[in-house]
Structure 1
Amino acid sequence: MTIKTPRYYQREGVDALYEYWRSGSGVNPLLVLPTGSGKSFCISMLAKEVLEVDSDARIICVTHVKELIEQNYLDLMEEWPFAPAGIYSAGLNRREIWAQILFCGIQSIWKHFDTIGRCDIMIIDEAHLLSPNSKTMYRKFISGLLENNPRMKIVGLTATHYRLGSGYLHEDEEGIFDGVAYEAYISDLVAQGFLAPLVSKAPDTRLNTSNLPKRGSEYTDKGQQEAFDIDEITKAAVHEIIMFGEKRRSWIIFATGVDHAIHIRDEIRRYDVSCETITGKTPADERAKMLLDFKAENIRALVSVGVLSTGFNAPKVDLIGLLRATMSTSWYVQALGRGMRMAEGKENCLVLDFAGNIEHHGPVDNLTIRTPSDKKGDTIPVKECPECATYTLISHKVCPECGFEFITELPAEKDEELKIDSTATTAPVMGGVTPPEWVSIDHWDAYYHEKKGGGTPSLRVEYCSSLETYSEWICIEHQGFARAKAEKWWLDRGDDFVPTTIDEALERFGDLICPEEILVSKPKKFWEILAMRGSRILDNDQAESSGFYTEEIPF
């Protein structure tokens, strides 16, 4: 048996949960990891390590679909073959409610909190589905378990820690979660090679969403089907999917309703492309076989209605078509996450958005999260590359896809080609991550840094090359996960004793090992330092420096 080594962010994430509880930051933290980054491995780590410390602890992992229940269970058993674990799920025909580590479906388990008895840690996978409504199955189940053990801790795992209409989960007054213990960012994991990048092309077929009826904060399915399920639109959109997908091997298309999905499927088949439709009503056996055939590449395309946006693991997916609109940022990110897993021979995943979703929500690595009181506009200023039809931010001088150099950039309101309206997909699906590169370091400096407006100070470290200076902020005096990261940073640079104040850190900075090279990327406004290698011996006057900063920092 081969024991997996956790990726750095998986280790940091689980450690951050321990520190969250140890520091008194709260009781019910969120662990935010992008789709495809290995949340199930974190569940296994947490369960195993907790039981190693407390052999009597009881852990329950709850989610909403049987595929995730089984996946989480199997991942634990792979890492810990003799784990005291079981499954409670009607869909899987297993009811092992006695298990010390219990993986269960909320639909099956929610009435049985009395039978379960004490639970010490409850893990909710896909925590964004947890409603603040106290009358839901989840909330009733949680209330029952808290009566059994008022000290129970709740961990929420999700790629999208926000909900349509209420914003961030931990900021909802009616919600369960009280903070984010750790978050790994899509841009970082793409830059480091853990996730596949998304690329977008501009389709000519564009669905008009301006007059779609809504129910609450979301478009109605009926309204979308009536507006989009039109033969002319379906043929035009499928023609573009076929054209763009010629060299891509595994497609998922999201449709508005069953009839719409069937019409898309039939049109795709006209091009001799194997395609099936999968919905929430597809019989279980038929659905299981269909998904196996899709993963084995016996089926090239699946048209989905109401399924596959969460809890579906098919790493080879390299084309996603959005033939439906959504106001839900969570659904949007979850759906596109189907294409971000890495697979052999896969360079990226192409997103064809026919319904303005990218425009509304923004790039997946730089989202616009709207709350009920948010009045922000719905469009993002972008332009289309004339060479490869990739959307990119209007500020970019070079196309991130093909390298085309834009000669003249007119303001959007003066250029007819840059007009943005509610019928067009008008934003890049990713924010144009700068590819990571190794940079040689001449010397480094350290400064006392105080954020504008006050707050806990930090240690600003500057790595100086011949052309650029790269900064990072080390949170020596912070608490929780920020302090844990600071401790790791200091120990990795050759000193066995981590200082507790910035002043002490500055005094001892000269004892640290300056790297010869650092790996840097610029996913957003600030450069990020991803790794270091080598060691450079510096004179004391090169290694020791101190000053005072009050400028903006990225936290």
Structure 2
Amino acid sequence: MQLRLYQIESVTSVQKDWQDGATDVLGVAATGAGKTQIMLSTMLGHADIPPVLVDGKRGLLIAHREELIRQPYERIASYWKHWLPNVGIVKAEENQPHRQMVIATVQSLHAKRLQTLLHYGPIDYLAIDECHHATADSYMELYQALKKANPNLRHMGVTATPQRADDIGLITVYQKNSFAIDIGYLVREGYLVPFKSLELATRTSLKGVRKTGNDLNAGQLKHVFELSNVFELVVDSYIKYAQGRKSIAFTVSVEGAHDLAAAFTKRGITAIAIDGTTPKEERRRILAAFSRGEYMVLTNCAVLTEGFDQPDIGCVMMVRPTVNRSLFVQCVGRGLRTAPGKDDCLVLEFAPSSGHNLASLGDVLGLPREVIEASRQAADEAEEGDVIGGMSFDGQDVHGLEGNPLELVARQIDYLKGTALHWERRDGWMILGLGEGGDGYERILAITPPMMTDPFKLFGLMKPKGTWDWSAKQLASAENFGELAEVANQYAEERGARNLMLKTASWKHQPASEGQIKYLRRLARGSGDKIKWQLLSKGDAATLITYYQTREALERVGMWR
């Protein structure tokens, strides 16, 4: 076995930090980086890297689930054979707490077994895999017991997702971040495949689904999302976009996993489900058959999110909305490993039309909030099966798929940054108040949100000064946003009051007037609850007034979408 350069650097960094006095260090390694290799090499050494388990010192490696215990043990059997007599497992019927190196889970090291483990000597080095769980009570109790037995305990945790969904930061456990290996680096260097995604509208609503713990309530989510038409859409989308790719699907419930597998089978696509109640021997048989290609689609509920490695998976189907970013990353990671003949991984995200602030690939890759919100807004307005977003990632840059909201909004954001005029982007619309022109008319311009099936449209609103009712009509349309923006800017220059339109106008920074706030309260009605009235500037108030005037006028004539 030959370690990759970044793995050598990671191991060396952890050992140096321990030597320098840091007792608890964190390593962030994207799925596919080889976390197990890094942890074992840190403990057992490799080539020119010395082991830390010398002179009788003991090590403990904690896996998150019992089925993941075998992986490090098998890795040791393959690459550190001379260590095998000194390696023990503590789980279920296996109980070898006397060995120098022990592999276990928090659950398998219950109080009695932990006492037995420490009876044979304190633990000197602790490694925790998937350590984003490390702030949970069970982990903290184990850590404190080990630390009490050995105040000089050295501890490393490794995870792909250092931010817990419950917002309890790992800074409460770890003193220092020893290394970080991100997805971009691994894709650029060829250790993971590039990936692309399509986000498809389901027309389901999550209104009323509450959050329980660190994610959406599974029971409520199942009833509103795991519907026959959604599963039919999943199968249709697989056939349309991913036919021939070995695929894994994540569902909300166990029943949903089996129903989805049945829906695939009904359409002639080999599929099978696996869940937490599947007997171990049956699970091994299913996974082996999937590996051999006897099934093209493997569906599951909360079983294969961590530690499952099947490199030739070419498509990941997220058929379970989640607000848990860590869970989302873990699921997507199942498809990013390299394999012969595999060029990329396709992620199909099935999006509800409304509800919570859901995790998405755009969120994971750090896209601007406006870009992510455009896709969510498109989900509210699209028909079932419409592609409402999509992107590709080559390790360096995120590229929107031509014509979808992500690409179009990115262009809008670039335009907003570059123009001197004070365009405001709200609800996907781009709005510019022109003020009163030389002909005595007040005007507003509005450009429609990016909708894949329509060209962009430019609407003009106008009313005589001193009146209340705005009239609206379409001024232009164009497939290309840049072309329409040029038309809009020319119209504004010809008919608008420049001192009102410029971003840099000094009056915009003055406190909002009583008249502005009074008028704005009337326009906002019930939707103004979140406005911090006392903090508004004149520019803020003018922008909001223009927005509400535009919305009201276009709703009246059926043009607001």
Query: What is the CA-CA distance between 1:209 and the residue it aligns to?
Result: 2.9
Superposed CA offset, 1:108-166 (max 9, x none): 12322222221001111111122343xx2x22222222221111111101111110121
Counterparts of 1:177-326 in structure 2, within 5 Å, are 177-248=174-245, 250-326=246-322
* Alignment match, 1:159: 160
Superposed CA offset, 1:8-42 (max 9, x none): 11111111112222333x31111111111111111
In structure 1, distance between residues paired with 2:224 and 2:402:
37
Query: What is the CA-CA distance between 1:182 and the residue it aligns to?
Result: 0.6
TM-score (norm. length: structure 1): 0.65
Which SS does the other structure have where 2:343 is aligned?
A: coil
* Alignment match, 2:75: 75
Q: Which moved further from structure 2: 403-412 or 298-307? A: 403-412
In structure 1, distance between residues paired with 2:52 and 2:18:
17
Q: Which has the greater radius of gyration?
A: 2
* Alignment match, 1:328: 324
Relative to structure 1, is the Cα distance of residues 81 and 216 closer, same or farther in structure 2, using a 3 angstrom cutoff? closer
* Alignment match, 1:64: 64
Query: What is the CA-CA distance between 1:218 and the residue it aligns to?
Result: 1.9
In structure 1, distance between residues paired with 2:196 and 2:16:
37
Query: What is the CA-CA distance between 1:278 and the residue it aligns to?
Result: 1.0
Query: What is the CA-CA distance between 1:267 and the residue it aligns to?
Result: 0.8
* Alignment match, 2:429: 413
In structure 1, distance between residues paired with 2:207 and 2:254:
23
More helix by share: 2
Whether the 8 Å CA contact 1:51–1:57 is kept in 2: the answer is no
Query: What is the CA-CA distance between 1:419 and the residue it aligns to?
Result: 6.7
Whether the 8 Å CA contact 1:30–1:179 is kept in 2: the answer is yes
Unaligned 5+ segments in structure 1 are: 370-375, 421-555
- Total equivalences in the alignment: 395
Which SS does the other structure have where 1:82 is aligned?
A: helix
Over the aligned positions, Cα root-mean-square deviation in angstroms equals: 3.2
Which SS does the other structure have where 2:77 is aligned?
A: helix
Whether the 8 Å CA contact 1:258–1:279 is kept in 2: the answer is yes
1:27 maps onto 2:28 in alignment: no
In structure 2, distance between residues paired with 1:23 and 1:377:
44
Relative to structure 1, is the Cα distance of residues 392 and 320 closer, same or farther in structure 2, using a 3 angstrom cutoff? closer
Report which structure shows greater RCO (CA 8 Å, sep ≥6). Answer: 1
Counterparts of 1:142-157 in structure 2, within 5 Å, are 142-157=143-158
Relative to structure 1, is the Cα distance of residues 399 and 257 closer, same or farther in structure 2, using a 3 angstrom cutoff? closer
Superposed CA offset, 1:347-376 (max 9, x none): 11111101369964453753489xxxxxx8
Superposed CA offset, 1:182-231 (max 9, x none): 10111111011011122102324354334422224421011111001222
Whether the 8 Å CA contact 1:186–1:365 is kept in 2: the answer is no
Relative to structure 1, is the Cα distance of residues 124 and 103 closer, same or farther in structure 2, using a 3 angstrom cutoff? same
In structure 1, distance between residues paired with 2:302 and 2:408:
44
Counterparts of 1:359-374 in structure 2, within 5 Å, are 360-363=359-362, 366-367=365-366
In structure 2, distance between residues paired with 1:289 and 1:129:
29
Letter in 1 for 2:150: N
Relative to structure 1, is the Cα distance of residues 110 and 143 closer, same or farther in structure 2, using a 3 angstrom cutoff? farther
Whether the 8 Å CA contact 2:165–2:214 is kept in 1: the answer is yes
* Alignment match, 2:105: 105
Query: What is the CA-CA distance between 1:380 and the residue it aligns to?
Result: 4.0
TM-score (norm. length: structure 2): 0.64
Relative to structure 1, is the Cα distance of residues 329 and 368 closer, same or farther in structure 2, using a 3 angstrom cutoff? farther
Relative to structure 1, is the Cα distance of residues 270 and 362 closer, same or farther in structure 2, using a 3 angstrom cutoff? closer
In structure 1, distance between residues paired with 2:187 and 2:357:
18
Counterparts of 1:430-449 in structure 2, within 5 Å, are none
The percentage of aligned residue pairs carrying the same residue is 23
Which SS does the other structure have where 2:341 is aligned?
A: coil
* Alignment match, 2:123: 119
In structure 1, distance between residues paired with 2:133 and 2:408:
46
Whether the 8 Å CA contact 2:328–2:359 is kept in 1: the answer is no
In structure 1, distance between residues paired with 2:19 and 2:142:
26
Which SS does the other structure have where 2:177 is aligned?
A: strand
Whether the 8 Å CA contact 1:61–1:122 is kept in 2: the answer is yes
